Amino acid sequence: MNFRVRFLTFTAAAGILAACATSPESGTTDTTDPQPEYDIITLLPKDAIPSIDRPRFFSAQEADAEYDADEVVIGLEINGDARAYSVGLLSSHEIVNDNVGGRPIAVTW
């Protein structure tokens, strides 16, 4: 199943769930308290966290020497082209723009 089909399936399922939801105004007996309202506070200005636009990768042998065996990564394989993105590195950049298996991708954390 390709990405577009999965996205459309997810979107349709979310729409069905939203359509099935009811509220106290519609006659249900839901007695849960409403969620508190929160203010959104912006700590950093727009574009303050730089993306990685030209990622460089270790060979498998170099990665074995550089990282612990329990390093948390986001793994991806497209058309036989495999990548592993370190969550530790992503925590300071949050997004990597890359090309994997001939397809442009964005990896976010």
Beta strands in 1-109 (DSSP E): 73-78, 81-86, 95-100, 103-108
- What pLDDT tens digit does each residue of the chain (109 aa) get? 444 444 444 444 444 444 444 455 555 556 677 778 888 888 888 888 889 999 999 998 999 999 998 999 999 999 999 999 999 888 888 899 999 999 999 998 8
In the chain, domain spans: 47-109
What pLDDT does 25 receive?
Answer: 55
Is the C-alpha dihedral spanning 85, 87, 92, 93 positive or negative?
A: positive
Name the β-bridge partners of 81: 78
